[in-house]
A and B are shown apart, each in its own frame.
Chain A
């Protein structure tokens, strides 16, 4: 389980960073999305990986913390997902505006001279 999650984070962030450094805007935005998935899983794993443990306490019962998953990282991930989704949408608009204004999808707004 730990290995699987670690490999997933590594693969996502590795390809994310590679794409982020590419010269085309579309590659950059996909890179940023992959990177944000990697970060989301990373946040999740920082609350320790647990299987079959609920994050919610039943009312009226005195809880034993060792029986539960940590709810805080889950809440953080939720917020992070919303924010990164909004930012991706916004970046997409800027990307399209840049494509329209400069006529190229190069991140510098002009084709490199060969």
Chain B
């Protein structure tokens, strides 16, 4: 590997940090310069993420892991950045979503308040850092960076509703940060290390009398991530906050709940996987039950939503719940299907949040609140069309495009053929029924089957009803005036899902390779712990890839 390429790992953290710093120096009125910088940095991040995916996929040794030693200290002492297939995949999803959300915001939202662009970059820094870090405490720091930026972005555009929702969001997440710290310090107190790979080697050796403390610590830590992922009953803040945030921010928030899922997947399989001795698969029943309850709560919420944004918020919960409960099975094939589902649902929900904003733009704000009530009581709706001056080129056949996008979103979220949502759910279900002896299928699998199919139907009903109300029933249809730059990101996200459908073979192969390494963490552990620092003499190099 060439010299500069090994430093590429640290770029997803450094680039947004430097860009944000630079933007803070500029005057707030230089919005065009800031937007350009943001666009450049986000596009560069996408390119870097693609390069990293290729790097991670082409390394053919056991763990498939590239290690970067910050400060050139030897591994258990150094804070490490670790790039494997999972981290690279998440980086790629983040950067695709970020680019689309940013493009969308350029049409109008970025001007709705100060410091949108620096906050956006800092959010990216936090998210990327959380994906790359191989150290528990560093994970906390990146989580806080990510959350701090997300508080600012949730408040972007201000107004009563946003401030009220953010107040709950911030209080809840600050309390969660305390749980995070308690969990991390308890784990440190028992094992004496914070390096994830090092922890994985220490945990099987923990004495029985300390094991209780370790498991309590891990459980407290797990709660912190479950709050982020939105597991019932820790998720009451989520639909309100996501519905209140402005559209591009809400689309970015779709990845935030997946950060929680990512960390759970990584830490649970690494620390409490098959090699953890007495603590193997700690809490898998809780994950399964919590996931199922989340799906139930999310589906009921989605059916009861009077407002498209809340519907999207509850769909996020359904997606998280599905992932959590499927993860709890803890088998390789199932995990690879879950990863496919994760990517497809994140992109689709991102597109859905953007699309909703376009649909609701020219509608009477009160209409949504009444939507379901109107149906229940057979009242007729009164539309008051409003003329609004828009910037940018107005595309023809707007309604047709919006309608097609809406149908595509609905198909992916509900998991119907022919789009990627179906392939994801199909992969999960097939893997679950092929677990072992075909004669006896365990109870969990039946539960999960009912859950996946049931949540699909619920999502279909909820989204279709919303679609009928938006596209068919209005007596006098007001066509929203939408610029190309706003339609483009939605189309890009949906095309990405379409590409996932067409290229499902190679992508599933990648997911399978990811799941294999996740379920056999000794390769990861070896690679991280045997990474050696560079010799003192060698020029600028501060890091080194594993042999």
Say which residue of B166, B182, B185 sits within 8 Å of A94 (CB atoms): B166
CA distance A98 to B167 in the complex (A): 8
**Contact between B185 and A20 (Cβ–Cβ < 8 Å)?**
no
Which one, B172-180, B251-259, B377-385, is touching chain A? Answer: B172-180
CA distance A26 to B131 in the complex (A): 35
**Contact between A107 and B182 (Cβ–Cβ < 8 Å)?**
no
Contact bitstring A84-95, B, C-beta under 8 A = 1, else 0: 101100110011
**Contact between A107 and B171 (Cβ–Cβ < 8 Å)?**
yes
Contact residues in A for B144 (Cβ distance below 8 Å)? 83, 87
**Contact between B185 and A76 (Cβ–Cβ < 8 Å)?**
yes
Contact residues in A for B182 (Cβ distance below 8 Å)? 39, 42
CA distance A83 to B178 in the complex (A): 11
Taking the nearest CB of chain A, how far is it from the CB of B324, in angstroms?
26
**Contact between B171 and A91 (Cβ–Cβ < 8 Å)?**
yes
Which residue of chain B lies nearest to A86 when distances are taken between CB atoms in the complex? B148
Contact residues in A for B151 (Cβ distance below 8 Å)? 90, 94
Residue A72 interfacial (CB < 8 Å)? yes
CA distance A91 to B159 in the complex (A): 16
Residue A67 interfacial (CB < 8 Å)? no
Say which residue of A72, A76, A84, A98 sits within 8 Å of B163 (CB atoms): A98
Given that A46-B189, A79-B137, A83-B144 are known contacts, is A94 also in contact with B163, CB under 8 Å in the complex? yes
Residue A80 interfacial (CB < 8 Å)? yes
Taking the nearest CB of chain A, how far is it from the CB of B543, in angstroms?
22
**Contact between A46 and B137 (Cβ–Cβ < 8 Å)?**
no
CA distance A20 to B168 in the complex (A): 11
CA distance A19 to B373 in the complex (A): 38
CA distance A42 to B181 in the complex (A): 9
**Contact between A107 and B148 (Cβ–Cβ < 8 Å)?**
no
Contact residues in A for B184 (Cβ distance below 8 Å)? 43, 76
Taking the nearest CB of chain A, how far is it from the CB of B398, in angstroms?
34
Residue A109 interfacial (CB < 8 Å)? yes
Given that A32-B174, A94-B151 are known contacts, is A108 also in contact with B164, CB under 8 Å in the complex? yes
Which residue of chain A lies nearest to B143 when distances are taken between CB atoms in the complex? A83
Q: Which residues of B contact A (CB under 8 A)?
A: 137, 141, 144, 148, 151, 155, 158-160, 163-164, 166-168, 170-171, 174-175, 177-178, 181-182, 184-186, 188-189, 194
A-B contact pairs, 18 of them (CB 8 A): A20-B171, A39-B185, A43-B184, A47-B189, A48-B189, A72-B188, A73-B185, A83-B141, A87-B148, A87-B177, A90-B148, A91-B170, A94-B151, A97-B155, A101-B164, A102-B160, A102-B164, A107-B167
Known: A43-B184, A87-B174. 5 other contacts (CB 8 A): A28-B171, A42-B182, A46-B188, A90-B148, A107-B167
Q: Which residues of A contact B (CB under 8 A)?
A: 20, 25, 28, 32, 35-36, 39, 42-43, 46-48, 72-73, 76, 79-80, 83-84, 86-87, 90-91, 94-95, 97-98, 101-102, 107-109
